Amino acid sequence: MRVKEISPVGEYVVLKLNKVVEGTDDLFVLKKKSKLYVPNSPEIDNDNPQKAVSPKKERWQAYVHAIGKEATEKVDYKIGDLVIFNDYDAKYVGHDDDNMFIVIKWNNIMSVYEEEEPKEEE
């Protein structure tokens, strides 16, 4: 189902899930110090064993999308914060990578965090 609009009620919070894909399609990467191209740890594509593809890691990030009226005075986080939540109490809504949300009670948000920028390989 494609969610058109979603708003939390009462003590609930809506989180927006974003898929993060890390990796590259390049079979070789440039090392900064040596200025040499080296193999990018290729893996075998199961559909086409003749073709090597670079590994990609997929993970999900949860951002605060909306906060219910009764929860606004109780929370230490704000809309747009990147959070870790209790997965057991989460209700997932949506079925595609661009439109996935979680409805969860305000006190099931366990932490707010920031990610470092990835360091370039030397």
Of the two residues 48 and 82, the one the predictor is more confident about is: 82
What is the structure's pLDDT at 7? 94
CATH number of the domain bearing residue 88: 2.30.33
> Within the chain, how many helices (H) and strands (E) appear?
0, 10
Q: Dump pLDDT digits (tens) for 16-74.
A: 999 887 665 555 666 667 666 656 555 545 555 455 555 566 788 999 999 999 999 99
* pLDDT of 12 strictly over 90: yes
For 89, phi and psi rounded to 5 degrees?
-100, 10
Q: Is residue 31 part of a domain?
A: no
The strand pair at 28-30 and 37-39 is best described as: antiparallel
Give residue 116's pLDDT band: very low, low, confident or very high (50, 70, 90). confident
Residue 89 lies in domain: 12-23+56-112
Q: Is residue 40 part of a domain?
A: no
Q: Is residue 65 part of a domain?
A: yes
The number of distinct structural domains making up the chain is 1
Q: Dump pLDDT digits (tens) for 92-111.
A: 998 777 789 999 999 999 99
Q: Is residue 76 part of a domain?
A: yes
What is the structure's pLDDT at 30? 64
* pLDDT of 87 strictly over 70: yes
Amino acid making up residue 76 = D
Is the pTM for the entire model greater than 0.85?
no
* Cβ–Cβ under 8 Å, residues 122 and 33: yes
